[in-house]
Amino acid sequence: MSLSLLAAEGGTDCGNGTPHLFGNNGGFSCVAPSSEDFDFSNRPWFHIAGYGVTKPVVLVALIVVLMIGFFWAAFNKPKMVPRGVQNVAEVAYLFVRDRMARDSMGKQGDRYVPFLFALFFFVWLMNVMSFVPGIQFPVSSVYSFPLALALMVWLTYMFAGFQRHGLGYFKVLGVPSGVPLGILLILTPIELLSNIFIRPFTLGIRLFANMFAGHLLIATFSAGAWYMFSVKGIVFSGASFTMAIVMTGFELFIQALQAYIFVMLTASYLAGALEEAH
Partner 1 sequence: MTSAMILASEFNPIKPKGDELVIGTIAFLIIFVIFWKKLLPNIKKTLDERTDAIEGGMKRAEEAQAAAAALQEEYQRNLTEARHEAAKITQHAREQGAEIVAQMRGEGQEQRDNLVAGGRAQLDADAAATRSALKGDLGTLAIALASKIVGESLEDEARQRGTVDRFLSELEAKADAEAGAKAGA
The residues binding partner 1 (CB under 8 A) are 10-12, 28, 31, 34-36, 38-39, 41, 51, 56-57, 60-61, 63-64, 67-68, 71-72, 74-80, 89-90, 93, 113-115, 117-119, 121-122, 141-145, 147-149, 151-152, 205, 208, 212
Backbone angles phi, psi at 22, to 5 degrees: -105, 125
Q: Least distance (Å) from partner 1 to the CB of residue 172? A: 25
∠ CA(64), CA(138), CA(18), 5° rounding? Answer: 130
**CB of 51 or CB of 233, closer to partner 1:** 51
CB 237, min distance to partner 1, A: 23
Least Å distance between CB 72 and partner 1? 7
CA 160 to each of CA 249, 255, 267: distance values in angstroms, whole numbers, following the listed order: 38, 28, 12
If the CB atoms of residues 169 and 269 are measured against partner 1, the closer one turns out to be: 269
Residue 10 or 109: which CB sits closer to partner 1?
10
At its nearest, how many Å lie between partner 1 and the CB of residue 143?
Answer: 5
Side chain identity at 221, as an amino acid letter? F
Q: Which residues contact 39 (CB under 8 A, 6 or more apart)?
A: none
| CB 200, CB 154: distance < 8 Å | yes
What is d(CA 269, CA 264) in angstroms, rounded to the nearest whole number?
9
- Rounded to a whole number of angstroms, the minimum distance from the CB of residue 262 to partner 1 is 12
For residues 90 and 191, which CB has a smaller minimum distance to partner 1 in the complex? 90
Question: 60 or 223: whose CB is closer to partner 1?
Answer: 60
Determine the Cα–Cα distance for residues 32 and 19; give it in Å rounded to an integer. 11
CB nearer partner 1, residue 28 or residue 233: 28
Helix 85-94 / helix 113-128 crossing angle, nearest 10 deg: 110
C-alpha distances in Å from residue 151, one per residue of 13, 114, 251: 38, 17, 25
Least separation in angstroms between CB 87 and partner 1: 12
- Which lies closer to partner 1 via its Cβ, residue 33 or residue 174? 33
Task: Say if CB 33 and CB 6 are below 8 A apart.
Answer: yes
Q: Is 46 helix (H, G, I), strand (E, B) or coil?
A: strand
Closest CB 12 distance from partner 1, rounded Å: 5
Burial class (CB in 10 A: 0-12, 13-18, 19+), 126: buried
